[in-house]
Structure 1
Amino acid sequence: MNDATLSALFLGLLEGLTEFIPVSSTGHILLAGHFLGFDSAGKTFEVVIQLGAVLAILGVYAAKIGRTVAGLPSDPQARRFAGSVLIAFLPAVVVGVLAHDFIKDVLFESPRLIASMLIIGGIVLLIVDRLPLTPRHHEADRFPLPMALGIGVIQCLAMIPGVSRSGATIVGALALGADKRAAAEFSFFLSMPTMAGAFAYDLYKNRDVLDWSALGEIAIGFAAAFVAAILVVRWLLGFVSQHGYGLFGWWRIIVGSIVLAALSMGY
């Protein structure tokens, strides 16, 4: 394998491993790309491999999604669950469309900001994980609609690279009364419209500068992200139910600190 292929494989695995845990996959991908010297016109590679993670969630939850869709005409609970995910998704649509260019052209180009957000987010995650919260909601498909909207508003913080989409939604859900497993599971379901919408909008906005010349590298990154994301999703719910989110908080702080130190030395 040449260097570009190895970088594509590594970044694809990194995307899949970090997309659904609260450590910021976007932050990790951008920082890794910075230090590897890996870039693509219009961020084609970075955009497309996210779809691999979306398809992983669709595969893992295909049966539940199928039951929900089939029940929409007759089952009030199915309609309520679909409505809660849609309501949680809407704030990201508004903020993403209005701030897209600023996010991609300014925030995505600041490794120091990303590293700082990793550290701050890690501290927040450690604090929330240790708070004596009393969960009131134990099923991700039964969150009240106002709670879903609140989670969606908090998710918008993840427009800042390094904050973490899953981290923001999980912390929001925990603070609003979800237990740890339900918070992670709702984050999974919310990721589907959010990531698919971001993927489609990114492709539209960058349609004139997209670089499809490296299709082999894109395919490798896509496949690696898909496989890694399936493994993480199947593992994560059981892990957080038993151990919480402290490990991910410390991981964020360590990675962010290492990156800031490397940047200060001119890397």
Structure 2
Amino acid sequence: MTYWHALLLAIVEGITEFLPISSTGHMIIASALLGIQPTAFNKLFMVVIQLGAILSVLVVYWKRFLQSIDFYLKLLVAFLPVVVVGLLLKKHIDALLESVPVVASTLLLGGIVLLFIDRWFPQEDPGEGGHPVTNPSFRQAFVIGVFQCLAVIPGVSRSAATIVGGLSQRLTRKAAAEFAFFLALPTMTAAAAKDLYDYYKDAKAAGVDFSRLFSGQEVKLLLLGNVVAFVVALLAIRLFVGFVTKYGFRAFGIYRIIVGALLLILLGLDLPLEIL
């Protein structure tokens, strides 16, 4: 991986992490287009730079993290289902991270869902107690967490799955999107920590000393990726919340369908994806 590759992947990550279009799926597609090989470090890079993107949530919503302990307990309740699923299916998930056909299919199917999601859960529908829900209960947080488990499949989109889960619990669009942002913090931090540990464990088994776990260039690539993803995500969060509150999710559904269909056509025609 070159610095140019790292920069492009970080921009893709920053833009897509909080949009319901799958950041992992887009990085897999970008890697294929750029001819980046799925080495252990390159796969680790795609997970770790998500830390930079999700740190932007702390900057934008720092006041929300000074709330009562209930805020953190609800995040924990929503986080637990994906922990169980992630631990049970880790090897299968890693295998899917190299599959462009899987990403193309899930982008297409997820796009169809987003195309109709505003109709299924119109904002004028009352929430529990006859009022729109802006703060989920513990039960609702758990249901949202169960929806997030769908995102272990590349291309589904953690953001999309979590937002759909929130809308199914009658959260407003803004509240569903923001809860998805908050839930990204424990989820992606745990994913990055687990991948870093596995990377270290494999290196240790191969006889690599901890001090030599990353080369100087790999450290610089990780730093560059996280910084760029952080800056780009700051802008993406603000734009996304305003857009989805006003216009809904239909545009993202159309985008996913177009991208997924084009990829499936390219794969069906056996055309090379490496064009850059």
The TM-score normalised by the length of structure 1 is 0.89
CA contact 1:47–1:199 (8 Å) conserved in 2: yes
1:82 equivalent to 2:67? Answer: no
The alpha-carbon deviation at position 84 of structure 1 amounts to: 1.3
SS where residue 254 of structure 2 aligns? helix
CA contact 1:169–1:187 (8 Å) conserved in 2: yes
The alpha-carbon deviation at position 165 of structure 1 amounts to: 0.3
Which amino acid letter does the alignment assign opposite residue 20 of structure 1? F
The alpha-carbon deviation at position 139 of structure 1 amounts to: 5.5
Q: Deviations over 1:160-202 (max 9, x none)?
A: 0000000000011111211111110111111111111111111
Report the equivalent of 2:138.
Answer: 145
1:121 equivalent to 2:121? Answer: no
Match of 1:260 among 256, 260, 264: 264
CA contact 1:135–1:174 (8 Å) conserved in 2: no
Alignment of 1:17-166 (within 5 A): 17-39=15-37, 40-42=39-41, 43-65=43-65, 67-68=66-67, 78-104=68-94, 106-131=95-120, 133=122, 134-136=125-127, 138=132, 140=134, 142-166=135-159
How many aligned positions are there? 253
Match of 2:181 among 180, 183, 188: 188
The gaps in structure 1 that reach 5 residues or longer are 69-77
Which amino acid letter does the alignment assign opposite residue 256 of structure 2? R
The alpha-carbon deviation at position 44 of structure 1 amounts to: 2.5
Which amino acid letter does the alignment assign opposite residue 153 of structure 1? V
CA RMSD for the aligned pairs?
A: 1.7
The alpha-carbon deviation at position 209 of structure 1 amounts to: 4.7
The gaps in structure 2 that reach 5 residues or longer are 204-212
Which amino acid letter does the alignment assign opposite residue 152 of structure 1? G
Hey, what's the Cα distance between the residues in 2 that align with 1:7 and 1:135?
Answer: 47
- Percent identity between matched residues is 46
Distance 1:34 1:135, change over 3 A: farther
Hey, what's the Cα distance between the residues in 1 that align with 2:47 and 2:244?
Answer: 28
- Greater mean deviation of Cα atoms: 125-134 or 198-207: 125-134
CA contact 1:41–1:209 (8 Å) conserved in 2: no
SS where residue 207 of structure 1 aligns? helix
The TM-score normalised by the length of structure 2 is 0.86
Match of 1:233 among 233, 237, 246: 237
Distance 1:132 1:218, change over 3 A: closer
The alpha-carbon deviation at position 132 of structure 1 amounts to: 5.1
Which amino acid letter does the alignment assign opposite residue 121 of structure 1? G
Alignment of 1:1-12 (within 5 A): 4-12=2-10
Hey, what's the Cα distance between the residues in 2 that align with 1:135 and 1:83?
Answer: 25
Hey, what's the Cα distance between the residues in 1 that align with 2:178 and 2:87?
Answer: 26
The alpha-carbon deviation at position 81 of structure 1 amounts to: 2.1
SS where residue 21 of structure 1 aligns? coil
